Amino acid sequence: MAAKKVGTLIKEARLAAEMTQEQLARRISGLSASDISMAERGLKDLTQEQLKRIAKVTGVTQASLLNAAKGSAKKTSSSTAAKTSMRVTATEKRLVELYREASSDKKKAVLNVLRGNDATAGEIFDTILEGVQDIITGK
């Protein structure tokens, strides 16, 4: 049962990331497209490290795949399912990567800014974000 659930989550994440099984396999050490196919059908169990790498590459949370693999994942609500298969941009993926690499103090500071708990930093962040949006839209 757990392998089937993990497989479904892997497939949803891969499709949301607009990747083929071959593209995903090339980014995960030790896996072939055939291995990905078997995992998506619940016929192959993947290691925790492979699941973590799939999560990182596809932009979903590691917990969603690891909990499903352990069989302890609670019934997903429609909002959780939507988050699992949510499309993220390359910029959003990069932000997640940078956040994961940051120290604990930097993570706390970033969260405070994003939550609006640091007015000065929030204003600076808004200004930077507006500038980035202008660059992206060509203004």
CA distance 32 to 43: 14
List C-alpha distances in Å: 70 to 4, 15, 46, 64.
Answer: 12, 23, 11, 10
CB 19 within 8 A of CB 40: no
Taking the whole predicted model, whether its pTM rises above 0.85 is answered as no
What would you measure as the largest C-alpha separation in the chain, in angstroms? 52
User: For 22-65, how does the pLDDT look when each residue is reduced to its tens digit (9 = 90+)?
Assistant: 999 999 989 999 999 999 999 999 888 998 899 888 888 878 77
Query: Can you give the pLDDT at residue 73?
Result: 40
CA nearest neighbour of 49 among 32, 64, 66, 34: 66
